[in-house]
Amino acid sequence: MRNIRLVIEYAGTHYCGWQTQTRNTKTPSIQSTVEKTLCKILREKIKLIGAGRTDAGVHALGQVANFHTRASLSTEKLQRALNALLPSDITIVSAKEVPLAFHSRFRAHSKHYRYTILNRAYRSCFIADVVYLYPVRLDVACMQREADALIGTHDFRAFQAAGTQKKATVRTIKRIKISKQGDLVYIDIEAGGFLYNMARNIVGTLIEIGRHKFPRGSVTRILKSKDRRCAGPTAPAHGLCLVKVKY
């Protein structure tokens, strides 16, 4: 038995997210699309284990997944075969044989997400699917000052999706950086783990801060409230990208 680790890049625009859906849906998932292609190549049933469950419309530069196989095909030939057969919006960046004990999800140390905002009044015809067009000028310095309060271990209950029943809501944010290049604003967040919609809810809150709708000290107040209603709206999925999974 062999354990193969894949690093996968994808544009999530036309998918229902990473995870295969149990309910009937006409929209495929990234997981099911790659699994079906692997089955065709290796001629055996394959179950992919992903490092993170990106939502519908979310993209990835470095999603990691592993699977077990009895096939003897080399990883170099496997990568070439996958890239030849997969749709053009999914690419296998690398394929490598790893120890059987490796698990993409449980061995992950942290995940790095990036949210990209096109901060101007008019859209881009080239990058519209991977950025959030926001026409109100954002105060990046103010956003960073407030974002610093998120670093460390906190109860992020106020930033999880409304109606979520998850009881363990303590997470650790290792790094959060907000930068601007031209009309693009980048929000980079690295954490040991994320609650459902946590990254997008943080972004939505920081946008409200950047347009001076939320006063100074809002992030600390929101964290202490543990109330989703106190935070900002959920930012759209298409601006979010899983950049890297660290082990």
Residues catalogued as catalytic: 55
Q: How far apart are CA 77 and CA 90, in angstroms?
A: 17
Q: Any idea what DSSP says for residue 157?
A: G
Q: How far apart are CA 177 and CA 140, in angstroms?
A: 10
| Contact (CB, 8 A) for 240 and 199 | yes
Backbone φ, ψ for residue 92 (5° rounding): -90, 110
Pick from 151, 231, 155, 219: nearest CA to 191: 151
Burial 97-119 (b: 16+ CB within 10 A, else e): ebeeebebeeebebbbbbbbbbb
Q: Which residues pair with 152 in a beta bridge?
A: 173
Q: Which residues pair with 18 in a beta bridge?
A: none
